[in-house]
């Protein structure tokens, strides 16, 4: 049926394309792709033959209007280069416009590097903040980290190899030596997860920038709230000191 289909695609291993995602791509009458060359391989793998049009969040309002016309009339699939569209990837403006126009929107869930990293990091998963990419410059990066430093949740960042050491160093400087994990090349041949304190990880990766795609997971602040019992204990100790 007509509508906008948000299709998650593999983040490294083609076998992670779900049967439903493949079928949706095969049935789509138009495919909006972040980069046509990148998606061509996946579409061939899925046996999808619909025409492809480039779509990203810098696309013009005119492009978006054309896309909305298509969505009203036929099955239109949105894919990004890898993983779940809209998650540090294009699509938000289009989904918002489709929602406001009352058009049907369907999600075909699947791989997402942030969620996959959380499942292997060994850090709390009950509350987490996905913070996307940190700014490239150190001052802006430290400010961005400072804004979320007090949040009582694990923090999840996307990062690239060359910047990893600097980002870990800034995370350690602003957040202190929290538990963290660097998760790399998920679902690929050289998948690895290195867990440790932020300071050690910063030293390790500062010396040797790794290759490939990376997710950083940082544990929540580990300071304990001061309880009434703590205050009573401290008060008793102080009074005991004072008595002759
Ligand atoms: N939409 C994608 C998703 O659902 O994960 C993310 C797109 S974002 C432009 C690309 C970033 O995601 C990379 O720089 C990296 O931080 C992370 N990423 C993507 N694939 C990955 C993988 N296989 N292993 C680790 N991180 C990955």
**Residue 224: band (very low, low, confident or very high) from pLDDT cuts 50, 70, 90:** low
Per-residue pLDDT tens digits for 180-217: 999 999 999 999 999 999 999 999 999 899 999 999 99
Question: Ligand 1 atom closest to Cα of 114?
Answer: 5
Distance set, CA 163 to CA 72, 172, 201 (Å): 42, 14, 13
- What stretch of H or E contains 10? none
Residue having the nearest C-alpha atom to atom 2 of ligand 1:
83
For the chain, give the mean pLDDT: 95
**Residue 225: band (very low, low, confident or very high) from pLDDT cuts 50, 70, 90:** low
Distance, in Å, from the CA atom of 174 to the CA atom of 223, rounded to the nearest integer, reads 15
- The neighbour count for residue 144, using CB atoms within 10 Å, is 17
pLDDT of residue 230: 72
Ligand 1 neighbourhood includes 72 CB (under 6 angstroms): no
Distance, in Å, from the CA atom of 161 to the CA atom of 192, rounded to the nearest integer, reads 13
Best of 9, 12, 39, 88 for a ligand 1 pocket test (most atoms within 8 Å of beta carbon): 88
User: Which has the closest alpha carbon to 17: 76, 86, 82, 78?
Assistant: 82
Best of 14, 213, 216 for a ligand 1 pocket test (most atoms within 8 Å of beta carbon): 213
- What stretch of H or E contains 87? none
Tell me the percentage of the chain whose pLDDT exceeds 70: 98
Ligand 1 neighbourhood includes 110 CB (under 6 angstroms): no
Q: CA torsion, points 32, 36, 38, 39, in degrees to nearest 10? A: 40
- What stretch of H or E contains 213? strand 213-218
Per-residue pLDDT tens digits for 105-131: 999 999 999 999 999 999 999 999 999
pLDDT of residue 182: 98
In the predicted structure, residue 223 carries a pLDDT above the cut 80: no
| Inter-residue contact 175 to 218 (CB < 8 Å) | yes
Helices (H) and strands (E) in the chain, counts: 9, 10
Ligand 1 neighbourhood includes 210 CB (under 6 angstroms): no
Question: Ligand 1 atom closest to Cα of 159?
Answer: 16
Ligand 1 neighbourhood includes 86 CB (under 6 angstroms): no
133 CA → ligand 1 middle, Å: 10
| Inter-residue contact 164 to 214 (CB < 8 Å) | yes
Per-residue pLDDT tens digits for 4-30: 999 999 999 999 999 999 999 999 999
Average pLDDT score over residue span 159-186: 98
Question: Ligand 1 atom closest to Cα of 80?
Answer: 1
pLDDT of residue 188: 98
Backbone φ/ψ region at 211: left (φ over 0), alpha (ψ -120 to 50), beta:
beta
pTM above 0.80, yes or no: yes
User: Which has the closest alpha carbon to 170: 191, 194, 141?
Assistant: 141
pLDDT of residue 104: 98
- Helix, coil or strand: residue 3: strand
Per-residue pLDDT tens digits for 58-103: 999 999 999 999 999 999 999 999 999 999 999 999 999 999 999 9
Ligand 1 neighbourhood includes 54 CB (under 6 angstroms): no
186 CA → ligand 1 middle, Å: 9
């Amino acid at each position: 049926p007509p509508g906008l289909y948000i299709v998650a695609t593999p983040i490294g291993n083609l076998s992670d394309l779900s049967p439903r995602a493949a079928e949706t791509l095969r049935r789509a009458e138009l495919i909006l792709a972040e980069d046509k060359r990148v998606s061509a391989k996946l579409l061939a793998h899925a046996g999808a033959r619909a025409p492809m049009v480039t779509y990203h969040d810098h696309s013009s309002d005119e492009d978006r209007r054309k896309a909305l016309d298509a969505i009203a009339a036929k099955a239109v699939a949105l894919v990004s280069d890898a993983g779940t569209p809209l998650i540090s990837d294009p699509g938000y403006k289009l989904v918002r416009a489709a929602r406001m126009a009352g058009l049907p929107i369907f999600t075909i869930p699947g791989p997402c590097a942030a969620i996959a990293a959380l499942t292997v990091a060994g850090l709390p998963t009950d509350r987490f903040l996905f913070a996307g990419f940190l700014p490239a410059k150190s001052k802006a990066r430290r400010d961005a980290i400072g804004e979320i430093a007090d949040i009582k949740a694990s923090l999840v960042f996307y990062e690239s190899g060359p910047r990893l050491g600097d980002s870990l160093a800034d995370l350690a400087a602003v957040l202190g030596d929290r538990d963290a994990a660097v998760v790399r090349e998920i679902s690929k041949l050289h998948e690895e997860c290195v867990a440790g304190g932020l300071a050690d990880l910063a030293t390790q990766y500062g010396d040797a920038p790794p290759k490939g795609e990376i997710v950083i997971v940082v544990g929540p602040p580990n300071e304990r709230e001061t309880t009434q019992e703590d205050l009573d204990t401290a008060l008793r100790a102080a009074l005991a000191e004072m008595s002759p």
